[in-house]
Amino acid sequence: MVFLDQGLRLLFGPPPSPHRASPAASVEDVPLEPAARDTAGCLMRVNHSGEVCAQALYQGQALTARAREMRESLERSAQEENDHLAWTAERVRELGAHTSYLNPLWYAGSLAIGAAAGLAGDRWSLGFLAETERQVVEHLQGHLVRLPPKDLKSRAIVEQMRDDEGRHATVALEAGAAELPAPVKALMRLSARTMTTTAYWV
């Protein structure tokens, strides 16, 4: 019931309150040309959907984790992802864009994937987490290339998210994450590409 409540609040409630101030809070909001503003809005919508997926993945993994320490570690990481969720939601609004209409679908799918990873065992769950975060870092680095150069606020958010995700991957590896088979990594990339491509437009 706790996870159902968390999911409903995330998808249909007000944006969560972050524990950390947004990296963009002290950055000047430079006016953008309409085309640049639209591009930034679409990219930040994708990043917001990614954070919806991250919340669901962590919740699914925590639900099926065997060790108490594993559940607590996942819950701590989910709190940091909560900051990302709040920051991206705020930036999407500032850019005059909307969050993805398909977020409930992304959430449900990611929750199921996270639960399945947890059922495979804590080492495999950590391996899934580490690989997910590695791929997210690559994705965010690509967004830093695509974001309009003048959009310093979005860039500040994405840079902090990239650093946080990289640290999550390192923590998972140090905790004993198993190396995932190449076909699983490829399937993860395909799934992520489907979500990011669709969320860019919808």
Over the stretch 10-68, which tens digit does the pLDDT of each residue have? 666 676 788 899 999 999 999 999 999 999 999 999 999 999 998 888 888 888 877 77
22 within domain boundaries? no
Closest C-alpha to 53, from 100, 91, 21, 122: 100
Domain that holds residue 75: 33-201
Where are the alpha helices (H) located in 95-151, listed in sequence order? 103-119, 122-146
CATH number (domain holding residue 66): 1.20.1260.10
According to the model, what pLDDT value does residue 1 have? 47
Rounded CA separation 202/199 (Å): 5
Instruction: Encode the chain (202 residues) as per-residue pLDDT tens digits.
Output: 445 556 556 666 676 788 899 999 999 999 999 999 999 999 999 999 999 998 888 888 888 877 777 777 777 777 778 899 999 999 999 999 999 999 999 999 999 998 998 898 889 999 999 999 999 999 999 999 999 999 999 999 999 999 999 998 998 888 889 999 999 999 999 999 999 999 999 9
167 within domain boundaries? yes
Total domains present in the chain:
1
20 within domain boundaries? no
7 within domain boundaries? no
26 within domain boundaries? no
78 within domain boundaries? yes
